[in-house]
Structure 1
Amino acid sequence: MKKLLSLYQNSIFFPSKPENPSERFIYFCNELQDEWIGIPKTDLNEREINLLQTFYTLVDFPSSTLHPTVREWHSFLFSNGPLPSHFLGNTLRIIQFDISGGRANQPEIESALKGFFTENVLIIWESGNRGIVVEAKNTFSLSEEDIHLMSETLESDFYLKVSFYIGKYYLVSERLPSKFLQEKEYFIFAITKLHLSEIYTFERVFPAYLAYQLPADLQKKVSQEIVGLFYEDHEMFSSIKVFLENNLNASLTAKKLYIHRNTLQYRIDKFIEKTGIDLKDFYGAFTVFLACLLYEQQN
């Protein structure tokens, strides 16, 4: 990032989040190292902005023209601001979204998102292509299937891929920002490391997140025999992983893999024969699924 300073003479480097950002600058962040750079808007064209977004996160700081409630929540969640008192005691969840495939038209995306929710929601943009939906708990809250449909509709209408992370419901309190930051860490991990879905939840992400955190020596102990088998037969790996992900439902697994059920059963039987692990046993299934995640990580 520091090399960009020589290319953009008027840019500014920040070792942490800028405290008083100027609306004359566009800010990019290296999230892994928490390094920031501000480049004057007049020094960048659209092509350069898109290129820089390939390497860094473009961060939009709240404008003074934002609705007071949105600005208040942006400050609370992202800048250690005060707790929005009029929401105290409410239960809500934060649905994160990330847009890839081009620069998002924020007003149009925001209007489309609000159309899916039955109640009023807050939409807060964190960057040019990433934001959150703050949704209070109610009888008509969207299900995971509804949000998957929303993702498909947005992709069809705007030709942009939109990934979502569905957060847990929490009481509004001083602890909410830290809980949100943890969910944000899981979401960033998912969209940078997994690329397997448009919809993520804690349950879907955490096993892979855990596998990535295992020390190398422990990874070898877990995966030595099973992963070796997957290297010999990648089709067996994909069949076993999808089978486990679909709660051992052979018909659904075969449908998702576009193979005959007998072909799937042959691969499952072959795996059980070679490993001696019963996939219908919880502990066996857990060990094999962890090995699947480690195999994906290595590849």
Structure 2
Amino acid sequence: MSTTDWLKPLQHILNCPVHLVTKSLADWHDLIKDADAVWLGDKTASSIPAEGARAEKAGKTSIVIASADASVELIEIDKPSLQTSEKELISWTLQLNREPVTEKAGTAQSETERSALKLSEWIQKQLESDEPAYSLPDHLTTGSRLFNEMIPFLLVTEQTNTKQGTYAELEKLLRSFLSDDVLLIPLKSQEWLIWGSASLLRDEDAEAFEEQEDESLEDSLASIGSGLHEMLASEWIGECHLAVAYPAVPAKGMVETTILLRETLNLGRKFHVGTNIHLPWMLQLERLLNAIPETQRTKYLEQSLKRADFFVESEMLSTIETFFALDCNVSETAKKLYIHRNTLLYRLDKLKQETGLDVRQFRDAVLVKIILLLYKVTKRN
């Protein structure tokens, strides 16, 4: 009997939600470290949990149904009133079926997925180390593929559970969009490191190339990221965030690239709520502001907003953001906002009267940009 065959009956018997999820081994160890109660069965000294092992936290019980070298399959039972006898019965049943379940989990994984999980485990160790190794060890760089320059992406999904077979499904979708030369690495739950072929940046059609010859590397990467996000959001995972970075050689830059992409995604979600595609070259000012202690940022913002509440009125906020997005071009901003040029100039003059800052002047434009970024973070917090 497959997992999905008994999952619904179990949910019916317990009369509560039961979800099937896949976590990395690192995530499992984080879970049991922070859990309110833990039962590890006969593998208490092993890093790989036994079938039936349990971790309980905040009314949710997670029980292992299968484990491999770098991943753990669990059922999550969202029922605070779940009795101890019920938990023990589920664990005991999973232990009885230990051999078939483990065998099935092992055969379900492709060679590509097993290699990806080994890469994931190595990356996690380096990220947690005080002295990380930045180059992949030889046993993880079979063939020459990882020594070719590739485009890195970091995908973070919003859904709270992952269904069985997700790796294969996602890999298939990525191959259809990015070509067959794709490397997919699961990191923490809901987080995926993706490497696509650098050939995506080369347009084989001569006519199309001539039309886009002025397109920069950054524009090309942003375009690829936008298309990939649209495909994933509509065909696979729904709400998600995607960070894209400059091409790099995976064998030499796996750890550094992961760190950069995580920082980029975190900064984008922090300073630009509502944006789903995050680019490191577009977040340089945000990176600088994020390095300033929060107390100082808050103090500066309070001082500024005492005379500049006018910034955050919806109409003015939209006007300023559009003005900045179009490089402070008055004519283009008026067109984008569907207003007369004189109407735009009136709004900018009114902003100057209210705040003393003229966004048509470089110095004042920088100050207003900083104030708006800090306001968004403070308002959300």
Name the aligned partner's letter for residue 123 of structure 2: L
Deviations 1:87-118 (A, max 9, x none): 56532332001112454552333322221113
* Superposition deviation, residue 120 in structure 1: 1.0
What is the aligned residue count?
Answer: 271
Two-structure CA RMSD over aligned residues (Å): 4.1
Hey, what's the Cα distance between the residues in 1 that align with 2:330 and 2:292? 30
Hey, what's the Cα distance between the residues in 2 that align with 1:111 and 1:286? 45
Change (3 A) 1:240 1:21: farther
* Superposition deviation, residue 295 in structure 1: 1.0
Given that residues 10 and 39 in structure 1 are in contact (C-alpha distance below 8 angstroms), is that contact kept between their aligned partners in structure 2?
Answer: no
Aligned match of 2:124: 78
* Superposition deviation, residue 177 in structure 1: 0.8
Name the aligned partner's letter for residue 181 of structure 2: N
Q: Are residues 1:10 and 2:39 paired?
A: yes
Given that residues 49 and 64 in structure 2 are in contact (C-alpha distance below 8 angstroms), is that contact kept between their aligned partners in structure 1?
Answer: no
Question: Which consecutive residues of structure 1, in runs of 5 or more, have no partner in the other structure?
Answer: 13-18, 29-37, 50-62
Deviations 1:44-92 (A, max 9, x none): 645639xxxxxxxxxxxxx864425434533443334625443565323
Change (3 A) 1:23 1:137: farther
Q: 2:303 aligns with which of 206, 224, 238?
A: 224
* Superposition deviation, residue 165 in structure 1: 0.2
Aligned match of 2:154: 96
Change (3 A) 1:284 1:270: same
Q: Are residues 1:20 and 2:47 paired?
A: yes
Hey, what's the Cα distance between the residues in 1 that align with 2:317 and 2:339? 16
**In the TM superposition, what are the counterparts of 1:47-58 in structure 2 within 5 Å?**
48=78
Q: What SS is found at the alignment partner of 1:131?
A: strand
Q: Are residues 1:270 and 2:372 paired?
A: no
* Superposition deviation, residue 272 in structure 1: 2.8
Name the aligned partner's letter for residue 5 of structure 1: A
Say which is worse superposed, 264-273 or 128-137, in terms of deviation.
Answer: 264-273
* Superposition deviation, residue 207 in structure 1: 2.5
Hey, what's the Cα distance between the residues in 1 that align with 2:254 and 2:146? 11
Hey, what's the Cα distance between the residues in 2 that align with 1:223 and 1:182? 31
Q: 2:240 aligns with which of 158, 162, 171?
A: 162
Given that residues 93 and 134 in structure 1 are in contact (C-alpha distance below 8 angstroms), is that contact kept between their aligned partners in structure 2?
Answer: yes
* Superposition deviation, residue 169 in structure 1: 2.2
Give me the TM-score of the superposition, normalised by structure 1.
0.70
Give me the TM-score of the superposition, normalised by structure 2.
0.57
Aligned match of 2:176: 115
Aligned match of 2:376: 296
Change (3 A) 1:271 1:94: same
Given that residues 270 and 377 in structure 2 are in contact (C-alpha distance below 8 angstroms), is that contact kept between their aligned partners in structure 1?
Answer: no
* Superposition deviation, residue 201 in structure 1: 0.9
Given that residues 123 and 132 in structure 1 are in contact (C-alpha distance below 8 angstroms), is that contact kept between their aligned partners in structure 2?
Answer: yes
Given that residues 310 and 355 in structure 2 are in contact (C-alpha distance below 8 angstroms), is that contact kept between their aligned partners in structure 1?
Answer: no
Percent identical residues: 17
Q: What SS is found at the alignment partner of 1:133?
A: strand
Q: What SS is found at the alignment partner of 2:49?
A: coil
Question: Which consecutive residues of structure 2, in runs of 5 or more, have no partner in the other structure?
Answer: 1-30, 56-60, 66-72, 80-104, 127-135, 203-219
Name the aligned partner's letter for residue 292 of structure 1: L
* Superposition deviation, residue 223 in structure 1: 6.8
Deviations 1:198-253 (A, max 9, x none): 10011333433432332333654477335741367522233213321332245665
Q: Which has the larger radius of gyration?
A: 2
Q: What SS is found at the alignment partner of 1:79?
A: helix
Given that residues 148 and 198 in structure 1 are in contact (C-alpha distance below 8 angstroms), is that contact kept between their aligned partners in structure 2?
Answer: no
